[in-house]
């Protein structure tokens, strides 16, 4: 192993260790550790400046997408767009265990379009928990299906995960939309499977409830949901503009698809300023909301931007090539073309050793560079390893899990959730891998 490769691997391990142990912030690890690594291999300040310039060029557009897309969907959430959709669905259904499990998945997917895992849990679990209790259903299923809804909306083009991934393929214009189109056929099939899982869980719960009712003599009441419990914020809710916001959101999404050469961040910027003007014409109120949304941009947006330091130093200093050459020499030739598949197979347990940032910005660049030696395109590697579902089992990667669990009113513990969800999530991860291979997205 060469000295440059050794420094590269040590740099990667230091970043992973610091983030997992929460010794430093992501921003510090990305901004400082790579520079130390570059100095250790003898890079001059002038060379380091060149690495940074090229690295930031890879991540700036992605950070700009987040700057406009996240406030757009948060504003739509405040205006009541997602509440309005949920109300219209719930008005038309009569509750039963199967209906409720399917509804859980539907609502978590709908609320997931604002790409805030916190809001998915904050909306879905308190909304549906009373009905789970009313039907004597397990809150564990509510938590599990809400988590599956989170997983199923990970790949919308404006999500942090998709934007992280897009920053790794700067040579492809509209990288996030490109990756989304690649995974979409496989995800359609996977979504159907998730609904089959929800139906199966509902049937299983229905049988269990009937069995227990026969023993206790209890009668389980079913009925329609009282949608008046789903209330918009009295100050900033705009239920009267529901259809206007629906049409505007569809136009924004259509703009991303129809005009692939138009910078995605500009499409979202136009959508945001129009949405603000329509919903909140008062400039003082607009500024107040934008200040509120700004808090959600940190630290994710700066971390995405500063990931360019990691990738820039590793890629342009020769560190990445040295690391890949070392791995190629070690890995048996017959295994080489399948390394990314092997990583995908063990992706769920591996996520207990990674944060989202280290998965995308430390592991993926190494695997991408390694697979170039075997002529596997970077976008194929990214899509294959994109759905790191194990992140939804560990607070190292997803601390919002504690919010979801706490919202069940003490009905479940974190340990119980992991014990219940670990193997089902791993199996679903393998199912998606199989679908991706069969549809050609992962080959």
**H-type helices in 80-167, by residue range?**
81-90, 97-111, 117-134, 139-152, 160-166
The total of other beta-carbon atoms located within 10 Å of residue 57's CB is 12
- Of the chain, the end-to-end C-alpha distance in Å amounts to 30
pLDDT in tens, 345-392: 999 998 887 878 888 888 899 999 999 988 999 999 999 999 889 999
Render the burial of 231-255: b for 16+ CB within 10 Å, e for the rest.
ebeeebbbeebbeebeebbeebbeb
Render pLDDT for 40-73 as a digit per residue (tens, 0 to 9). 999 999 999 999 999 898 888 888 888 898 899 8
Residue 31, H or E segment: helix 26-40
CB 426 within 8 A of CB 349: yes
How many Å apart are CA 284 and CA 221, to the nearest integer? 48
Cβ-in-10-Å burial (0-12, 13-18, 19+) of 359 comes to: buried
Q: Residue 219: what pLDDT?
A: 61
- Under DSSP, the state recorded for 443 is -
How far apart, in whole angstroms, are the C-alpha atoms of residue 76 and residue 114? 8
pLDDT given at position 431: 97
Cα–Cα distance, 246 to 253 (Å, whole number): 11
Please identify every stretch of the chain with a pLDDT value under 50, giving residue numbers as ranges: none
Contacts of 141 (CB under 8 A, 6+ apart): 101, 104, 132, 201, 205
Question: Pick from 93, 64, 308: which is nearest to 202 by CA?
Answer: 93
> Distances in Å between the alpha carbon of 404 and those of 101, 142, 397, 426?
16, 10, 15, 20
Rounded distance between C-alpha atoms, residue 24 and residue 27, angstroms: 8
Please count the other Cβ atoms lying within 10 Å of the Cβ belonging to residue 66.
23
Percent of the chain that is helix, strand, coil (3-state, to 5): 75, 0, 25
Q: Are 48 and 35 in contact (CB under 8 A)?
A: yes
| Confidence (pLDDT) at 225 | 62
CA atoms within 13 A on the CB side of 244: 13
pTM of the entire predicted model: 0.82
Sign (positive or negative) of CA dihedral 115, 117, 122, 128: positive
Neighbours of 39 (CB within 10 A): 13
pLDDT per position as a tens digit, 396-417: 778 888 888 888 888 898 889 9
> What is the predicted pLDDT for the residue at 24?
87
Q: Which two structure tokens, joined as six digits, stand for 420? A: 């219940």
Q: CA quadruple 344, 348, 350, 354: dihedral positive or negative?
A: positive
Helix, strand, or coil (residue 260): coil
Neighbours of 300 (CB within 10 A): 18
Provide CB contacts within 8 A for 404, sequence distance 6+: 121, 125, 143, 146, 147
For the chain, what is the largest distance between any 2 Cα atoms, rounded to a whole number of angstroms? 79
Which residues make Cβ contacts (< 8 Å) with residue 101, sequence separation at least 6? 141, 145, 198, 199, 201, 202, 205
Report how far residue 437's alpha carbon sits from residue 443's, in angstroms, rounded to the nearest whole number. 6
> How far is 250 from 89, CA to CA, in rounded Å?
19
Q: What is the pLDDT of residue 280?
A: 97
Please name the residue ranges forming H helices in 153-263: 160-166, 175-216, 242-258
């Amino acid at each position: 192993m060469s000295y440059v490769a050794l420094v590269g691997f040590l740099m990667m391990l230091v970043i992973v260790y610091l983030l997992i142990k929460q010794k430093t912030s992501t921003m510090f690890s990305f901004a400082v550790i790579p520079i130390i690594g570059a100095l250790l291999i003898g890079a001059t300040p002038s060379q380091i400046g060149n690495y940074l310039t090229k690295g930031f060029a890879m991540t700036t557009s992605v950070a700009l997408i987040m700057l406009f897309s996240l406030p757009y969907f948060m504003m739509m959430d405040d205006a009541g767009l997602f509440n309005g959709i949920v109300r219209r669905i719930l008005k038309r259904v009569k509750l039963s265990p199967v209906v409720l499990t399917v509804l859980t998945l539907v609502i978590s997917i709908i609320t997931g379009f604002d790409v805030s895992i916190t809001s998915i849990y904050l909306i879905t679990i308190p909304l549906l928990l009373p009905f789970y209790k009313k039907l004597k259903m397990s809150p564990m299923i509510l938590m599990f299906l809400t988590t599956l809804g989170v997983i199923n909306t990970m790949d919308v083009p404006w999500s942090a995960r998709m934007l992280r991934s897009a920053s790794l393929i700067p040579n492809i214009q509209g990288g996030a939309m490109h990756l989304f189109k690649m995974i979409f056929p496989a995800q359609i099939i996977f979504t159907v499977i998730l609904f089959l899982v929800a139906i199966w869980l509902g049937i299983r719960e229905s049988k269990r409830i009937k069995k227990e009712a026969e023993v206790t003599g209890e009668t389980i009441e079913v009925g329609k949901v009282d949608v008046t419990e789903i209330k918009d914020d009295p100050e900033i809710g705009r239920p009267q503009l529901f259809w206007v916001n629906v049409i505007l959101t569809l136009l924004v999404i259509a703009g991303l698809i129809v005009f692939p050469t138009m910078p995605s961040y500009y499409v979202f910027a136009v959508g945001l300023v129009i949405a603000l003007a329509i919903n909140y014409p008062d400039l003082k109120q607009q500024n107040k909301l934008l200040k509120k949304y700004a808090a959600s941009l940190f630290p994710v947006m700066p971390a995405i931007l500063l990931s360019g330091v990691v990738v820039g130093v590793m890629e342009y200093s020769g560190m990445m090539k040295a690391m890949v050459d070392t791995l190629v020499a070690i890995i048996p030739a017959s295994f080489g073309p399948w390394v990314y598949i092997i990583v995908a197979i063990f992706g769920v347990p591996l996520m207990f050793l990674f944060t989202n940032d280290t998965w995308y910005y430390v592991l993926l660049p190494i695997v991408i560079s390694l697979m170039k030696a075997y002529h596997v395109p970077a976008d194929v590697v990214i899509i294959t390893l994109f759905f790191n579902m194990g992140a939804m089992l560990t607070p190292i990667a997803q601390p919002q899990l504690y919010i979801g669990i706490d919202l069940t009113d003490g009905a479940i513990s974190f340990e119980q959730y992991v014990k219940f969800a670990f193997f089902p999530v791993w199996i679903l991860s393998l199912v998606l891998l199989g679908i991706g291979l069969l549809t050609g997205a992962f080959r």
